[in-house]
Amino acid sequence: MDADRNLWRDSAQETFDAAAFTGDASVDLCILGGGFTGCSAALQAAQEGASVLLLEAETIGHGGSGRNVGLVNAGLWLPPRDVCAALGQAQGDRLNAALAAAPAQVFTLIDTHAIACEPIREGTLHCAHSTNGFKDLQARFEQQSALGAPVTLLDADAARRRTGSNMVHGALHDARAGTIQPLAYARGLARAAAQHGARIHAHSPVISLAHNGSDWIVNTSQGIVKSKLILIATNAYHKPVKGAQVPSTTPVHYFQLATAPLGHNQAAQVLPGGEGCWDTGTVMTSFRKDQAGRLILGAMGKPDALGLHAAWARRMLARLFPQVGDAPFEHFWSGRISMTSDHIPKVMRMGGPGYAIFGYSGRGIGPGTVIGAAAAKALLSGDETHLPLDPVDGYDEAFTAIKGQFYEMAARIAHAGGGRLG
C-alpha cells in the first residue's frame, strides 16, 4: 500500500488547473495559501469587486484542506462555555454564533457555485469511546441545547443502531453538520473565485514580503506583486518567507486509511444515515464513508510508523465494524494540524494592512470558510467588526515542538495497544 495515496486526490470530481505566477501585478488583495481560508477570502473579495491575486506554493488544497477528514462541524473542538472562558463572554458569544452557522455557509456556497464535493448534510456523531466519554457528551449537549442548537443525545443502544458499531457508548448528533470531499470543496472555491475575477496561481512560493509604507511588495521566484492588502492563509503548511514571520503552533499529525468500496449490503450496515463521526478519546479517532461506499478511518499520528498505524487500523476496523470483515485498505495519507494552546484560531495583524490566520486545531472547513470570508471583508472595508473574533497584534507559544512530540508519543502508545473504543 502506497504510504501517500490520498483518496481525495484520486476521487475529486472538481479539477482546477492554476499556472505559476510570472511577471508583475498590482492588486487590492494578495493572498498566500490556496486552502479553505485563502480560497474563501479570494471568492469573497472578488465578489465585492476587488482585484485579487492568490499565490499557492504547491497546488490548490495541497495542505490540510486536501488531507482533511471532511467533517463540516458547527463550532470549535472546545465546547461553547470554554470558548467564552478563554475569550470573554462577548467575544466568545460572537465566535460561537459565527461558527454555529458555519455549516450553513459552507453548504450554501456548495449549492450556489455547484461545487461537486459529495455534500451530505445528515449531521455528525460525536461518539463516546467510554462511559466517561459519554459524561463529556452530556455536558456538551447541555451547553449546546441552552444555545438552541439542534443536537440530540443518543444513548448506547441508539448510537449503536445509528453507527452500526457495538463499540460506542453513546453519541451526540448535531443536525447542522455534515460531510464533504474536502479537496474537491477547496478546488470548487478556487474555481468560483476565478470565475468572479480572482487570479489564482499554483506552484508560486513566496520568497519575501515587505510593506513599504503604502503597499505590500510580494516577491516570488518569477515575479513581483504590489498589493494594498495582504492575507497569509498558510496555517500548518507555512513555509519560511522573509519578512513574514508567522508564529509557530503545535504540529499535530493525522493519518487516514480508506477501504475499497464496500458492497451494498456491507455499506448499508455501516453508518446507514451517512453521518461523519469522531470519538471522545484524547488520541482521537474518526470514521465516515464517502460517496462510493469506502469506509475511512483516521487517527492522530505521523505516517512514518506505517506498520504501526496500519496494524492498529486493521485491529480497530475489526473491533468497530466486524461486519466489514477483511475489506482491504486501498488508500493511506496524512496531514498536519496547527494546534494553538487554547484550541482557538488566531487572526494576527501583520503590521501593515493585513492578517495572518492560523491555528484551527483540527477544525478547518467551517472556521476556515467563515474566517477567510470575514477577513476579506474586514481588510477591504477597514472595519474589523466583520471578524468573528478580535485580531491580535502578535502571538507567541512556547515549546511547540515538544508539545508536538508529546502528542505523537501518545498516539504511538495508543496505537501500539488494542485501540480505544470500548
* Confidence band, pLDDT 50/70/90 cuts, at residue 345: very high
Which stretch of DSSP H or E encloses residue 198? none
| Cα(86)–Cα(77) distance, integer angstroms | 13
The region that residue 164 occupies, defined by phi over 0 for left and psi between -120 and 50 for alpha, beta otherwise, is left
* Confidence band, pLDDT 50/70/90 cuts, at residue 3: low
pLDDT at 305: 54
CB atoms within 10 A of CB 325: 10
- What is the 8-class DSSP label of residue 384? G
C-alpha distances out from residue 89 to 12, 81, 230, 385, Å: 41, 9, 30, 16
Collapsed DSSP state (helix, strand, coil) of residue 154: strand
Is 131-175+250-339+399-422 in the same CATH topology as 6-123+180-248+341-391?
no
Collapsed DSSP state (helix, strand, coil) of residue 325: coil
Q: What is the mean pLDDT of the chain?
A: 94
Higher pLDDT, 418 or 133: 133
- Per-residue pLDDT tens digits for 213-237: 999 999 999 999 999 999 999 999 9
- pLDDT, mean of residues 176-203: 98
- pLDDT, mean of residues 57-72: 97
Give the distance, in angstroms, between the CA of residue 210 and the centroid of all CA atoms in the same chain: 29
C-alpha distances out from residue 412 to 3, 306, 311, 407, Å: 17, 11, 12, 9
pLDDT at 244: 87
Runs of H (alpha helix) within 147-296: 156-163, 182-195, 264-269
* Confidence band, pLDDT 50/70/90 cuts, at residue 306: low
Which phi and psi angles does 290 have, rounded to 5°? -105, -175
CATH 3.40.50.300 fits 6-123+180-248+341-391, yes or no: no
| Cα(20)–Cα(39) distance, integer angstroms | 16
Query: Is the confidence at residue 285, as pLDDT, over 70?
Result: yes
Q: What is the value of pTM for the model shown?
A: 0.96
- pLDDT, mean of residues 186-212: 97
For residue 179, the one-letter residue type is T
- CATH number among 3.30.1360.170, 3.40.47.10, 1.10.3470.10, 3.30.9.10, domain 131-175+250-339+399-422: 3.30.9.10
pLDDT at 21: 98
Query: Is the confidence at residue 419, as pLDDT, over 80?
Result: no
- pLDDT, mean of residues 267-290: 94
Name the grid cell of 82. 470554554
- pLDDT, mean of residues 367-373: 98
- The candidate with the shortest Cα–Cα distance to 113, out of 38, 35, 31, 195, is 195
- What is the 8-class DSSP label of residue 305? -
For residue 113, the one-letter residue type is H
Query: Is the confidence at residue 48, as pLDDT, over 80?
Result: yes
- Per-residue pLDDT tens digits for 5-28: 999 999 999 999 999 999 999 999
Query: Is the confidence at residue 1, as pLDDT, over 80?
Result: no
Query: Is the confidence at residue 325, as pLDDT, over 80?
Result: no
pLDDT at 68: 96
- The candidate with the shortest Cα–Cα distance to 363, out of 110, 177, 109, 231, is 177
* Angle (deg, nearest 10), helices 102-112 and 182-195: 60
| Cα(334)–Cα(257) distance, integer angstroms | 9
- Per-residue pLDDT tens digits for 382-409: 999 999 999 999 999 999 999 889 888 8
pLDDT at 271: 96
| Sheet with strand 171-174: strands edge to edge | 151-154, 171-174, 124-127, 276-279, 285-289, 295-300, 250-259, 329-339
Which phi and psi angles does 54 have, rounded to 5°? -110, 135
| Cα(225)–Cα(243) distance, integer angstroms | 15
- Per-residue pLDDT tens digits for 147-173: 999 999 999 999 999 999 999 999 999
For residue 83, the one-letter residue type is V
* Confidence band, pLDDT 50/70/90 cuts, at residue 422: very low
Higher pLDDT, 264 or 220: 220
| Cα(58)–Cα(186) distance, integer angstroms | 14
- Bridge-based pairing state of the strands 178-179 and 71-72: antiparallel
For residues 54 and 38, the answer to whether their CB atoms sit within 8 Å is yes
- pLDDT, mean of residues 297-325: 85
What percent of the chain has a predicted confidence (pLDDT) above 90?
86
The domain spans of the chain are 6-123+180-248+341-391, 131-175+250-339+399-422
| Cα(48)–Cα(380) distance, integer angstroms | 9
C-alpha distances out from residue 46 to 13, 206, 355, Å: 24, 21, 18
* Confidence band, pLDDT 50/70/90 cuts, at residue 187: very high
User: Which of 23-37, 174-188, 306-320 is the least confident region?
Assistant: 306-320
- pLDDT, mean of residues 85-92: 97
